[in-house]
Amino acid sequence: MKHLNAIGLDKKKSSQLADRLNELLANYSIFYQNARGYHWNIKGEKFFELHLKFEELYNDLLLKIDEVAERILTLGHAPKHTYSEYRKLSKIAESNHVSDGTKAVEDVLGSFKIIITLQRDLLERSAEIGDEGTNALMSDYIRAQEKLVWMYSAYLKK
């Protein structure tokens, strides 16, 4: 029993999972700040539509950031919390001032691709160690985000 954490999972495998969750947290955090920038700086014909969509997006990302950090804590580890750490871990790059709606939506889709790929990996890893909590979280995120990818992709179709 000494090799199990407080929720009955293998400590070593939970540590590896927490490391991957910290990578996800970093990507979510950069994605969140990018979405704030899109919301603040969007201009043009579709301003009203995209301004609201980007606000919905960053509000959702903020909730996920908190849930992922709390999951890391539940596994018995510490979530990373500095942007310097996030920038090192994130595959999503910080976005410069983006005011073009099409470019912003393309960036959002690229970010979702990275996020969903990470979450699929976490889904597999959490299943392997019997971590139903992380597994359910990732499954819920993937399902909802796949729909968002479809919707944002439809925006780009002419």
Tens digits of pLDDT across the chain (158 residues): 899 999 999 999 999 999 999 999 999 999 999 999 999 999 999 999 999 999 999 999 999 999 999 999 999 999 999 999 999 999 999 998 789 999 999 999 999 999 999 999 999 999 999 999 999 999 999 999 999 999 999 999 86
Q: Check if the beta carbon of residue 108 is closer than 8 Å to that of residue 35.
A: yes
Burial per residue of 58-76, b for 16 or more beta-carbon CB atoms within 10 angstroms, e otherwise: bebbeebbeebbebbebbe
Please indicate, yes or no, if residue 6 is contained in any of the structural domains. no
Which residues span the domain enclosing 140? 11-156
**Dist CA 30 CA 105 (whole Å):** 15
Domain count, the chain: 1
92 Rama class: left (phi>0) / alpha (psi -120 to 50) / beta: beta
What CATH number is associated with residue 101? Answer: 1.20.1260.10
Please indicate, yes or no, if residue 29 is contained in any of the structural domains. yes
What pLDDT is stored for residue 97 in this prediction?
Answer: 79
What pLDDT is stored for residue 7 in this prediction?
Answer: 94
**Dist CA 14 CA 129 (whole Å):** 8
Please indicate, yes or no, if residue 4 is contained in any of the structural domains. no
Residue 94 gets which letter from DSSP?
P
Please indicate, yes or no, if residue 3 is contained in any of the structural domains. no
